[in-house]
Amino acid sequence: MSLDKKYLDLFRPKIHWGKIEIDVEKCTGCGQCTENCPGKVPALNDEGKAYMGREECITCSNCAVTCPTEAITIKETFFVEEGYFKTIPADIPYKYPAPPLDANGKPSEYTSMEKAVLERRSVRNFKDTPVPEPLIRRILEAGRHAPSTGNCQPWRFIVITDKALMEEIGARIQPMALMVSTMYRTDEMLEMLAAQYETDPQPGMFDPRVQGGVYCVGQGILPPLVNAPALIVLLGDERAISNPEINIGICGTNMTLVANSLGLGACWVGFITLVNMMPDVMERLGIEAPYKVIASLAVGYPAFKQHGMVAREAKPVTWFRPGADGPEIEQ
């Protein structure tokens, strides 16, 4: 095809997908690994045992963390070999949280806050039980009292507990995701993506993990709003100091941790931003400039265990210590 190489590097990077391994002797065929994987990489065979049914694994470890018999291990991790999104340094090692040490470097115990942070996972599978409004209000208070740049507090919240409305919004999002996914995967349509990129260059929108998520939503593999009983839409004031995204990120982090502390689970849902392209939905939700949809949090009672510590990328850390000749890079 005639598309410039820089766009091919951006839209079609060379990916090394992660790989999982299932101990069939331990596997009980409960299917929780399939349910908890946003891309439905694990599947169940005719014998009722889990296996790797799709190759697009991004090493989120959702399958392993929910397995009641610890039958799943991560054998190879996701990284990008070539292209714009090339992993630097290549094939970063994944490590579990470092054992806690006290101020003197002696073995210690994790604090309750550390456990809350390290064991938190995105919850995408919920019970049908409604979330009580008093608990939702406590989550909102955690967001309202988050730190923000210059104390600009650029957030507004919309709470949706009407399942019919959420289904309606999800039904509008799904075909849009399908269209974008088709553009990613069709050579002739990549030129349209290139034109879009030049108009609004946001490379993160084209990350291969985003491409995978868009495909799963477009194909109906992943519900756009994850069938949550409650959705908190996070709006940001476009006039915010340092842009609204960083402030909403801080705000939402407070909210997810408090949700977990209340026995609930939460998941960031970015597909809600497509509402910004739906004037009628924006009007229905009462969203007007200078506010726009930045993200949303799906909230509910977890249908099964979806928390626990997992391994994550261990990128090098650069230290500048007193008296040192220069930087020390800790691998």
Q: In angstroms, rounded to a whole number, what is the distance separating the alpha carbons of residues 22 and 207?
A: 28
Count the Cβ atoms, other than its own, within 10 Å of residue 114: 12
Name the domain count of the chain: 2
Q: In angstroms, rounded to a whole number, what is the distance separating the alpha carbons of residues 25 and 69?
A: 10
Tokens (6 digits) for 288:
């007007």
CATH number of the domain bearing residue 62? 3.30.70.20
pLDDT at 223 over 60: yes
Q: What is the value of pTM for the model shown? A: 0.94
In a domain, 127, yes or no: yes
CATH number of the domain bearing residue 226? 3.40.109.10
pLDDT at 1 over 60: no
pLDDT at 10 over 60: yes
| 143 and 288 inside one domain | yes
| 296 and 171 inside one domain | yes
Q: Which range marks the domain in which residue 81 is found?
A: 13-96+310-319
| 142 and 19 inside one domain | no
In a domain, 326, yes or no: no
- Read off the pLDDT of residues 163-211 as tens digits, 9 standing for 90 and up: 999 999 999 999 999 998 998 888 888 888 888 888 888 888 889 999 9
Please, which pLDDT band fits residue 2 given cuts at 50, 70 and 90? low
Q: In angstroms, rounded to a whole number, what is the distance separating the alpha carbons of residues 115 and 127?
A: 24
Runs of H (alpha helix) within 12-149:
32-36, 62-66, 112-119, 133-144
In a domain, 166, yes or no: yes
| 289 and 232 inside one domain | yes
> Going by C-beta distance under 8 Å and a sequence separation of 6 or more, which residues neighbour residue 267?
122, 123, 124, 226, 228, 297, 298
- Read off the pLDDT of residues 81-103 as tens digits, 9 standing for 90 and up: 999 999 998 889 999 999 999 99
- Rounded to the nearest 10°, the torsion over CA 207, 212, 214, 216 is -170
Give CA angle at 258 (255, 264), nearest 5°. 100
In a domain, 56, yes or no: yes
- Read off the pLDDT of residues 238-290 as tens digits, 9 standing for 90 and up: 999 999 999 999 999 999 999 999 999 999 999 999 999 999 999 999 999 99
| 76 and 142 inside one domain | no
Cβ atoms 61, 311 nearer than 8 A: yes
